[in-house]
Amino acid sequence: MIEARGLTKRYGATLAVNDLSFEVRPGRVTGFLGPNGAGKSTTMRMILGLDKPTSGSVTIDGRSYVEHDRPLRKIGAMLDAKAVHPGRSAYHHLLALAQTNGIPRRRVPQVLELVGLESVAGQRAGGFSLGMGQRLGIAAALLGDPAVLLFDEPVNGLDPEGIRWIRGLLKTLAAEGRTVFVSSHLMSEMALTAEHLVVIGRGRLIADTSVDALVGGSSFNTVRVQSPQAEQFTWTLAANGAQVDRASDGTLSVTGLEPARIGELAATDGITLHELSVKQASLEDAFMELTEDSIDYKAGHHAATMITANGVMS
Amino acid sequence: MSTLSLPRVSGVKAHPHPFDVVRAEVTKFRSVRSSYWSLLVAAVVTVGFAALITNESARNYATMSAADQAAFDPTSDSLTGLLFGQLAIGVLGVLAITSEYSTGLIRTSLSAVPQRFTYLSAKAAVVGVMALAAGLVISFTSFGVGQAIFSQHGLAASLGDPGVARAVIGGGVYVAVIAIVGVGLGAVIKHTAGTTVTLVGLVFLVPLLMDALPASWDTVTNWTLPAAGQALATAGQTDGVLSPGRGLLVCLIWVGGSLAAGAYAMKRRDA
């Protein structure tokens, strides 16, 4: 279990991480979601004791990272796929890491086989593709058979087959009871792998919730209502606090009221309903709604107009 | 996914064992070709210059003034090549740490060994021992080649002569000192080019600067690396003011100082 309390990191005038508190529990994949520059990597480096928090703390199973004896046996991390000496073979890269923490040498070929790099184990890592580098980073994270795993943007640079492989791996690791914390700026990816989400924007916690609850709680969840008495029913709904959009064909899109309540109101007023259905927002919609204020560089309206004026869009 | 399970090891020690970290650094050192290239270049350059310089000295000896002939030291003459060879081994020390910073590998290394002082001292120890071994081989080879050339002119020194064995060993020790200082500076500066330039400045530019200064500055000059190196690698005590023992002391201060600066920088800084 990872616990962050009031975690804050300041670089000069910039607050990269701002009073961040969250928990990452074992047995499920927790996604760490946020736009680029939101502070995900900084947070991960603080978890690993690489960067010192300006204030606040983060612990792994109750102890800070540096207090763990032989940390690779407790926490495995993949931060950067390019973080290898280009002249060193994959095998020796992993061997040196294993030796620091007293991990038996025989473990090295095991993890190489697990990530599918056994055939290139003796080759220099400088010639590896980004995808192979990611696999080597994952192998390093798994070396110590750790109970807690951190992955920073693990699907970057992987081909579709590799992406499917890592999704399966993350789920398997979580099913084995491990704590799995995966950062990503791709909500579509997290929708497929994560059960729980920690969402940040501009260094602040935006949501700490399950994927289902995030989608369910989105204001983009609307209820579609069709009725021959649509106009009359609109007044009833509005009087009960709902926001109603009426399309030209008379279909109502209702937000702010549960479908059950809408049904009850219809019964009370004697309204005939032809359709009462929930239209669920995607995780993408929910995420965009949450982080709208937190994206540092949003495409401005001006830019879009200029592109159209130049005829690029049409 | 049974391959994930790691056989538990009984009796796991409390902390990352410094010996384990040293073993890992040996693996890192041995598994990149640049280590061997640096040592080979150092050997070829040093021994090559030893042959050139001693050959030149031997031919000129007859025409030297009486004072120059009296000051002539065949031992230090045969070790002059170390002046150039030290750089290749110094760069070896620099690269041992700056290559980890330039690739980002340092983050992986420090998550495996969060005790930054343990990490830095293990690396310095491995680089130091390798450089010392190579330095001794190179120093003795240079001496052998140089004296073989001098012996044709009846000028050769022998390892049994006073101070000669100490000077040849001193040459090897000095090379190891330069390599370790390279590691310490690398930990402070992080960038390969910047660290290399700093090291070159310390061993090449500082002596030039000191030569331009009046003799009253000798007390300062005596604390520089090249002065210490010269004290170590000279058999007779001719122009140098430093005794070999003082030279060794100055070297140890440089080793301790650069590593302390490196450890302090690493401890304060984010990785």
B213 domain-assigned: yes
**Residue A51 near chain B (CB below 8 Å):** yes
The amino acid at A106: R
% of chain B surpassing 90 pLDDT = 73
Judged on CB neighbours under 10 Å (0-12, 13-18, 19+), B206 is middle
Q: Which residues pair with A196 in a beta bridge?
A: A30, A210
Contact B112 A88 (CB under 8 A): no
Q: How far apart are the first and last CA of chain B?
A: 34
Band of residue A218 on the pLDDT scale cut at 50, 70, 90: low
Strands A222-226 and A252-255: antiparallel
Band of residue A36 on the pLDDT scale cut at 50, 70, 90: confident
Instruction: List CB contacts of A268: < 8 A, sequence separation 6 or more.
Output: none
CATH superfamily of A2-216: P-loop containing nucleotide triphosphate hydrolases (3.40.50.300)
pLDDT in tens, B183-204: 999 999 999 999 999 999 999 8
Q: Looking at chain A, which residues constitute the CATH 3.40.50.300 domain(s)?
A: 2-216
Could you count the other beta carbons within 10 Å of the beta carbon of residue B105? 23
Query: For residues A238 and A256, what is the distance between their CA atoms, to the nearest angstrom?
Result: 10
B230 domain-assigned: yes
Contact B13 A69 (CB under 8 A): yes
Q: Is the dihedral of CA B250, B255, B261, B263 positive or negative?
A: negative
Query: For residues B161 and B147, what is the distance between their CA atoms, to the nearest angstrom?
Result: 13
Which DSSP letter does residue B68 get? H
Between positions 18 and 77 of B, the ones with CB within 8 A of A are: 20-21, 23-25, 27-28, 31-34
DSSP letters spanning A45-68: HHHTTSS--SEEEEEETTB-GGGS
% of chain A surpassing 70 pLDDT = 89
Of residues A248 and B150, the one with the higher pLDDT is B150
Q: Which ipTM score applies to this complex?
A: 0.90
pLDDT in tens, A87-113: 999 999 999 999 999 999 999 999 999
Which DSSP letter does residue B204 get? I
Query: For residues A137 and A182, what is the distance between their CA atoms, to the nearest angstrom?
Result: 14
Residue A124 backbone class (left: φ over 0; alpha: ψ -120 to 50; beta: rest): beta
Q: For position A308, what pLDDT does the model report?
A: 34
The Cα-based distances of B168 to A200, B234, B244 in angstroms read 63, 8, 12
The answer, yes or no, to whether residue A126 has pLDDT greater than 60, is: yes
The Cα-based distances of B55 to B139, B155, B156 in angstroms read 17, 11, 12
B10 domain-assigned: no
Q: Strand, coil or helix: what is A102? A: coil
Q: For position B215, what pLDDT does the model report?
A: 76
Query: For residues B210 and B196, what is the distance between their CA atoms, to the nearest angstrom?
Result: 20
Q: What is the mean pLDDT of chain B?
A: 90
The answer, yes or no, to whether residue A296 has pLDDT greater than 90, is: no
Q: How many residues does chain B have?
A: 271
B3 domain-assigned: no
The CATH label, of 2.20.110, 3.30.70, 3.90.930, 1.10.287, for the domain at A222-279 is: 3.30.70
Count how many pairs of residues, chain A against chain B, have C-beta atoms within 8 Å. 122
Q: Which of A262-266, A291-295, B82-86 has the lowest mean pLDDT?
A: A291-295
Q: For position A154, what pLDDT does the model report?
A: 92
Band of residue A79 on the pLDDT scale cut at 50, 70, 90: very high
Contact B6 A145 (CB under 8 A): yes
Strand A14-24: give its sheet, edge to edge.
A14-24, A2-11, A55-60
Strands annotated E in chain A: 2-11, 14-24, 29-33, 55-60, 75-78, 148-152, 179-184, 196-201, 204-210, 222-226, 243-246, 252-255, 275-279
Written as six digits, the tokens of B182 are 């390279």
Residues of A in contact with B31 (CB under 8 A): 88-89, 92-93, 95-96
Contact A51 B270 (CB under 8 A): yes
Residues of B in contact with A116 (CB under 8 A): none
Which DSSP letter does residue A299 get? P
Contact A104 B9 (CB under 8 A): yes
Structural domain span for residue B135: 16-60+67-268
Band of residue A295 on the pLDDT scale cut at 50, 70, 90: low
Mean of pLDDT values over A280-294: 68
Between positions 169 and 188 of A, the ones with CB within 8 A of B are: 172-173, 176
Q: Looking at chain A, which residues constitute the CATH 3.30.70 domain(s)?
A: 222-279
Strands A148-152 and A75-78: parallel
pLDDT in tens, A132-176: 999 999 999 999 999 999 999 998 878 889 999 999 999 999 999
Written as six digits, the tokens of B79 are 């070790």
Q: What is the mean pLDDT of chain A?
A: 88
pLDDT in tens, B27-53: 999 999 999 999 999 999 999 999 999
B196 domain-assigned: yes
User: Model's pTM, two decimal places?
Assistant: 0.84
Kindly tell me the number of DSSP H helices and DSSP E strands found in chain A.
11, 13
Mean of pLDDT values over B60-83: 91
Q: Strand, coil or helix: what is B41? A: helix
Nearest residue of chain A to residue B98 (CA atoms) = A85
What φ, ψ does residue B232 adopt, rounded to 5°? -70, -40
The amino acid at A85: H
Strands A196-201 and A29-33: parallel
Q: Which alpha helices (DSSP H) does chain B contain, by range? A: 18-30, 33-60, 66-71, 74-78, 82-103, 105-112, 116-151, 164-189, 192-200, 206-212, 218-221, 225-232, 244-268
Q: For position B23, what pLDDT does the model report?
A: 96
Of residues A280 and A24, the one with the higher pLDDT is A24
The answer, yes or no, to whether residue A314 has pLDDT greater than 70, is: no
Contact A142 B108 (CB under 8 A): no
Instruction: Please give the tally of structural domains in chain B.
Output: 1
Q: For position A197, what pLDDT does the model report?
A: 93
Q: Strand, coil or helix: what is A183? A: strand
Written as six digits, the tokens of B85 are 């060879």
Query: For residues A73 and A196, what is the distance between their CA atoms, to the nearest angstrom?
Result: 25
Written as six digits, the tokens of A210 are 């399950």
The Cα-based distances of A40 to A44, A76, A107, A156 in angstroms read 6, 17, 30, 15
Dihedral, A174, A178, A184, A186 alpha carbons, nearest 10: 10
Q: Which of A11, A59, A70 to mutate to test the interface with B (most CBs of B within 10 A)?
A: A70
Between positions 136 and 175 of A, the ones with CB within 8 A of B are: 140, 142, 144-145, 172-173
Q: Strand, coil or helix: what is B9? A: coil
Residue whose entry in the numeric block shows the structure tokens 């640079």: A157
Q: How far apart are the first and last CA of chain A?
A: 51
Contact B103 A113 (CB under 8 A): no
B2 domain-assigned: no
B7 domain-assigned: no
The answer, yes or no, to whether residue B218 has pLDDT greater than 60, is: yes
B210 domain-assigned: yes
